[in-house]
Structure 1
Amino acid sequence: MAGVEEVEVVVAHQERATLRVGDVFLKIDADRTRADVEVEAMAIAPIPTPEVLWRKPPVLALAALPGTALGRLGEPSTASSAAWAAAGAAARTLHDAPPPPWPGRSLDEVASRLDGECAWLVANGVLPAGVVTRNRRVAEAALRPWTPVFTHGDLQVTHVFADGDEITGVIDWSEAGPGDALFDLATLTLGHEERLGDVVAGYGTDVDLDVIRAWWSLRSLRAVRWLIEHGFDPWPEVAVLNSRL
């Protein structure tokens, strides 16, 4: 890293921080278990991931991926339809692999947290009760038994990198574990509904679009409080919730 002129703060909050120094990303995480999951998930994932350069807890050094992120939540994506389809194909490859050996979130855990977040949003006047009630009703379709697959757990567009029409890798695996395949597809297309057809085409199998839309509402309802408490603006998630009306 000799000759580096600046350090870029990619993200920083109370739980973790990510810095970019030249072509190296330094992830600093207070939760060693979360970092352990990330390293192990990248080691067994059947799709491209960043190279682990070194690890000295609480710091994990990763090589930068070529290309750029598919997009950002709340902004139009300039990535090609083929790149989005390739992201769907990468998700299918991941989901076809054996799930990781550690436990994932249960349906009861997901439902309980959702109810708690909805109650908090209304009690604190963060969102109108009608918006919360409507989205809670939509989210109900996601609360059904699923066959656990190898999920990334946070497959948002900023975590998927492409160079032209090719996916070059996926970052941020700390939430990986057995879970619902449609949650990954919903996370990838959250706020980019117009790209859902491309992703499903690349995924290569029939999916329940109503369940994906349900996960859009569920994920957004769960995210708003966390974003506020960690100093982020939740307006993209709020926009998704308002769009369900």
Structure 2
Amino acid sequence: MDEVEVVVAHSERATLRVGDVFLKVDADQARIDAEVDAMSRAPVPTPKILWRKPPVLAIAAVPGTTLGRLGGPSTGSVAAWAAAGAAIRKLHDAPLPPRPGRAVRTVVELAAELDDECELLVANGLLPADLVTHNRQVAEAALRPWTPAFTHGDLQIARVFVDGDEVTGIIDWSEAGQGDALYDLATFTLGHEERLDDVLSGYGSDIDLDVIHAWWSLRSLLAVRWLIEHGFDPLAPGCEVDVLRSRM
């Protein structure tokens, strides 16, 4: 019998792996509904849904390997990274899904949340004030109007699988919906700035790099406290705090 592997587990959800089957347990039924709907609409490879019985969604493992992980080395050829960029562009060019992404806020709401979070990071002694202040300034470029696209919403590098130079699957669609395309690109390249040009060679031109850099800072600032409170380590080498330091 295959062993049960705990892939991720915190107060909001848990994902277990048994052989080639992933079991996603989520108390928020709307999040599972959004994930299933997004996978049915996305014009890119997604996991096969095996069965669904709330609060559990069972999906098949996708073939291939990831291009890396946050805090670890990036792998894969330049062509593989370009193929990932092309797949992301295909998603962003697809017809809009009916709902906004779960993480989408207005510019005013996002700015207020960011200011509150920056204040807490300093007040609680989690990050130095100069590091927070500088990255808050960098993040300002992301606080602008944007044209909605079909976005994944949490496109971390570990969620894109490739086999050779071909994208074989993109996983974890619970945050998907209408969103900022540059947020997806920034999330995918977070901690792997050296691969941004490879990704953009497949994605295409007309990208505001200042906004990508801003999203690296903004996403990291908003993530640090949550990660610490949920048992993760944003201070590990190559992770969110190092991303913030790289902007200095």
Q: CA deviation at 1:225?
A: 1.0
Query: Does 2:215 align with 1:218?
Result: no
Structure 2: distance between partners of 1:147 and 1:132:
28
Matches within 5 A, 1:164-203: 164-203=164-203
Structure 2: distance between partners of 1:181 and 1:35:
22
Which position in structure 1 is the counterpart of 2:22? 25
So what's the TM-score if we normalise by structure 1? 0.97
Q: CA deviation at 1:109?
A: 2.5
Which position in structure 2 is the counterpart of 1:97? 94
Specify every segment of 5 or more residues in structure 1 that has no aligned partner in the other structure, as ranges.
none
Amino acid at match of 1:176: A
| 1:5-27 alpha-carbon deviations (Å, 9 max, x no partner) | 31111111111110100100000
So what's the TM-score if we normalise by structure 2? 0.96
| Contact residue 100 and residue 179 of structure 2 kept, 8 A | no
Q: CA deviation at 1:120?
A: 1.1
Structure 2: distance between partners of 1:165 and 1:5:
30
Q: CA deviation at 1:100?
A: 1.2
Q: Could you tell me which of 69, 82, 85 is aligned with 1:85?
A: 82
4+ runs of 1 displaced by more than 3 Å?
none
Structure 1: distance between partners of 2:196 and 2:209:
9
Structure 1: distance between partners of 2:110 and 2:43:
26
Q: How many residues align?
A: 242
Query: Does 2:233 align with 1:233?
Result: yes
CA RMSD in angstroms, aligned pairs only:
0.9
Which position in structure 2 is the counterpart of 1:157? 157
Amino acid at match of 1:186: A
| Contact residue 160 and residue 169 of structure 2 kept, 8 A | yes
Matches within 5 A, 1:25-64: 25-64=22-61
Q: CA deviation at 1:205?
A: 2.0
Which position in structure 2 is the counterpart of 1:68? 65
Structure 1: distance between partners of 2:109 and 2:17:
35
Specify every segment of 5 or more residues in structure 2 that has no aligned partner in the other structure, as ranges.
none
| 1:19-40 alpha-carbon deviations (Å, 9 max, x no partner) | 1001000000111111111010
Structure 2: distance between partners of 1:228 and 1:32:
26
Q: Percent identity, please.
A: 75
Structure 1: distance between partners of 2:200 and 2:78:
11
Structure 2: distance between partners of 1:155 and 1:237:
15
